[in-house]
Amino acid sequence: MINIEIGNNFRGDIEIILITDFKKIPKKEAEICALQGFSGKSGEFIFLQNTKKFYFALKDSSIDCIRESGALIVRILKKFNIKSASIKGFNDSQKNYALILGILAGEYEFNTYKQKSNKISLKNIYIIESSNKFVNELKKVKVVANSLNLVREIVNTPPEDCTPIKLSSIATKIAKEVGLECNIGDLKFIIKEKMQALLAVSKASPNEPRIIELSYKPKKPKARVVLVGKGLTYDSGGLSLKPADYMTTMKADKGGGCAVLGIMKCIAELKPNIEVLGIIGAVENMIGGNAYKPDDILASREGISIEVKNTDAEGRLVLADCLSYAQDLKPDYIIDLATLTGACVVALGEFSSGIMGYNEKLKREFEQIALNCGELMALLPFNRHLEKLIESKNADVSNVSSSRYGGAITAGLFLGKFIRDKYKDKWIHLDIAGPAFVEKEWDINPYGASGAGVRSVVDFILNLEDKAK
């Protein structure tokens, strides 16, 4: 990771200058810029070798624009033989935070499996800032960016190298490094807990399922938050087999579970006075003679029977049992994260997550926190008419809707069936299917995994601590 330092007299190999107005460039330099076709249009850049100045044009000076510019700049500078750079800060903590997050997140690329990967000469970026107010924020942004990039790396890891057991090993290693308590529930544990819906999904895989449980427990916590992550290390669709084109990115179906790992790592390092527990259902959904089938009726841990109409609606089955287990931990808040439905991508596009649940105030509060930290999210409303679409003639509930429309919401309503009445107002469901894995660079995110959900949930938890003071 690029080293970021803050001070008032640092000098790098080059000076990065952010501009929103071409007219503010000194006259002689502006003439050179114009000769080379630089007009100050958003996203344009030019490097003046004689003065060692690197101009980058912003659309405006908003926090979102600054964050994205940080990522774009570091991607450009990685191509040059430059070891260090300086950039003037904003004398504004939020803008400085956004800039540094963009730089550190924009640096990441997945090249673990490449024989030849580009060596990056850029090692240091100096933020020229006279104020000392930002020093404490610097720790947080480094922790968040580090966790974000770790989540990306795990999600990008191919299924052969990240089975449920291997994901458990990764979780155990992270827990040891940052001081989290970690318990791994093996097949015997899952059977004992009567997680029959989760077990059904795993039946045809040679790789056994695991329940990963991580705990951060301060001495006198102000609240208890339980996170639940869908950890499908690979999803073939089961007997309701996916088309080939839809199968190639299914290593990313563990995005929710990996986000929980990243959030727990952040919390352990930032040490808020909030107890946080993370539950990940690590499972592989494959095909075989012993696979679960459409028409099967499953007995969930919560005692609610489920009619299977499509084995590719497996994530909600895993989450149903994990949410049941999570409620036994007596949380003040439950947040689940899952790459749950393609329907959410149809509804909101590739770059936004869907927020669902029963508590309107809580959902809107979470949405605002997410938007403030740069994660695009939008509310998807539950309604009683869509709920009728998951009714079953043969069981308590069907695992898919009887209609092709509103699929993200009916999946959320399915999960809602497993939330007890006393916890309905404490639960948020995040469908991160869109932004968790995108096959092109966007915003501060590279090709592939983005680490969706990490920033917003971390800020939600830190905000709980602020409210408790």
C-alpha–C-alpha distance, residues 142 and 200, integer Å: 40
Beta bridge partners of 84: 124
Which residue shows structure tokens 């624009």?
65
Q: What is the dihedral of CA 236, 241, 243, 244, to 10 degrees?
A: 40
**Per-residue buried b or exposed e for 127-158, using 16+ beta carbons within 10 Å of the residue's own CB:** bbbeeeebeeebebbbbbbbbbbbbbbbbbbe
Q: Is 18 helix (H, G, I), strand (E, B) or coil?
A: strand
Q: Which residues contact 244 (CB under 8 A, 6 or more apart)?
A: none
Q: Which residues are catalytic?
A: 242, 316
Per the document, the length of the chain is: 469
CA torsion sign for 217, 218, 220, 221 is negative
Mode of pairing for the β-strands spanning 377-379 and 297-299 = unpaired
**What are the backbone dihedrals phi and psi of residue 457, each rounded to the nearest 5 degrees, phi first?**
-70, -40
Q: d(Cα 50, Cα 46) in Å, to the nearest integer?
A: 12
CA distance 252 to 152: 9
Which helix (H) or strand (E) element contains residue 361? helix 360-372
Sheet hosting strand 297-299, strand order edge to edge: 297-299, 305-307, 397-398
Instruction: Please tell me what DSSP assigns to residue 447.
Output: S
